[in-house]
């Protein structure tokens, strides 16, 4: 079977969590990078994109779209979605919370286009950090294993890692100084061999820059 192939931009965006989930599961994948408008037009007209959107992941003979569905497929196959309906609900709840947290770092805002990074960070500083950091720190502390749910890595942890990496990229370690459980979590999860290798490699994209924003604008909005 061919390696899974991710159709997405050469940047983080919604593709980041798909890459992170594949990496956490030790699944090697390739990137089909979207850099020109004619590519997505062809994928759309060839019927590759169910809702005409990326990310799309080709895996196991399937063409998966919708970020949440993609990562749940991978996590489900790899046993990272818990072992009871209650545990799965808890994992999903925490995962969705981490997506809400991460959304504060997205620079694209519907109806406005890409907004200035300072506006993003002002909003994240006043609204996202005080809401989410204490909650995730508390959940980690109460669970006590270093992971959010149970005794091993789940999709909830992979979800949380993404906004924590953004916090560290944008604010530095200082931002976690009052959250010892989150500091331990970051250390523990980024030391897992498959994630450590991925995060140090080229498939982990840097924070979105001008090149990424102008590519997305050209491909989707011109």
Ligand X SMILES: N[C@@H](CCC(=O)N[C@@H](CS)C(=O)NCC(=O)O)C(=O)O
CB nearer to ligand X: give 103 or 151: 103
CB nearer to ligand X: give 100 or 197: 100
Angstrom distance (rounded) from CA 77 to CA 74: 5
CB nearer to ligand X: give 4 or 13: 13
Angstrom distance (rounded) from CA 12 to CA 215: 13
Site pattern 110..129 for ligand X (x: CB under 6 A): --------------------
Using rule CB under 6 A, residue 190 touches ligand X: no
Residue nearest to ligand X (CB): 53
Using rule CB under 6 A, residue 22 touches ligand X: no
Considering only residues 11, 13, 82, 163, which one is a binding residue for ligand X as defined by CB under 6 A? Answer: 13
Using rule CB under 6 A, residue 220 touches ligand X: yes
Considering only residues 11, 12, 14, 73, which one is a binding residue for ligand X as defined by CB under 6 A? Answer: 14
Tokens found for residue 13 = 């965006």
Using rule CB under 6 A, residue 89 touches ligand X: no
Within 23-156, strands assigned E span 30-33, 56-59, 62-65, 108-109, 113-114
CB of 69 to ligand X, least distance (A): 8
Which residue has 């997205």 as its token pair?
106
CB nearer to ligand X: give 39 or 66: 66
CB nearer to ligand X: give 88 or 208: 208
CB of 207 to ligand X, least distance (A): 15
Phi then psi for residue 31, to 5 deg, are: -105, 125
Residues 6 or more apart whose Cβ sits within 8 Å of residue 62: 73
3-state DSSP helix/strand/coil percent for the chain, to nearest 5? 55, 10, 35
Q: Can you say whether the dihedral through the CA atoms of 112, 117, 118, 122 is positive or negative?
A: positive
- Using CB under 6 A, which residues numbered 48 to 77 contact ligand X? 52-55, 66-67
Q: Residue 91: helix, strand or coil by DSSP?
A: helix
* Beta partners for residue 30, in sequence order: 5
Q: Please tell me the count of residues contacting ligand X according to CB under 6 A.
A: 9
CB of 107 to ligand X, least distance (A): 11
Q: Are 127 and 104 in contact (CB under 8 A)?
A: yes
Chain contacts with ligand X (rule: CB under 6 A): 13-14, 52-55, 66-67, 220
């Amino acid at each position: 079977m061919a390696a899974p192939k991710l159709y997405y931009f050469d940047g983080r965006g919604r593709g980041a969590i798909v890459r992170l989930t594949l990496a956490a599961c030790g699944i090697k994948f390739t990137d089909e990078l979207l850099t020109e408008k004619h590519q997505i037009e062809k994928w759309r007209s060839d019927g590759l994109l169910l809702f005409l959107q990326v990310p799309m992941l080709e895996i196991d003979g399937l063409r998966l779209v919708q970020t949440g569905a993609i990562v749940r497929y991978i996590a489900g196959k790899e046993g990272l979605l818990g072992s009871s309906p209650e545990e799965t609900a808890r994992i999903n709840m925490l995962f969705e919370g981490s997506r809400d947290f991460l959304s504060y770092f997205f620079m694209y805002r519907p109806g406005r286009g890409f907004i200035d990074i300072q506006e993003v960070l002002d909003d994240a500083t006043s609204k996202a950090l005080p809401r989410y950091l204490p909650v995730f720190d508390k959940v980690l502390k109460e669970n006590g294993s270093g992971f959010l749910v149970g005794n091993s890595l789940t999709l909830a942890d992979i979800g949380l890692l993404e906004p924590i990496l953004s916090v560290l990229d944008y604010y530095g370690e200082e931002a976690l100084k009052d959250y010892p459980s989150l500091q331990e979590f970051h250390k523990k999860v980024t030391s897992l061999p498959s994630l450590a290798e991925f995060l140090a490699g080229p498939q982990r994209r840097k924070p979105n820059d001008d090149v990424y924003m102008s590519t997305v604008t050209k491909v989707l909005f011109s």
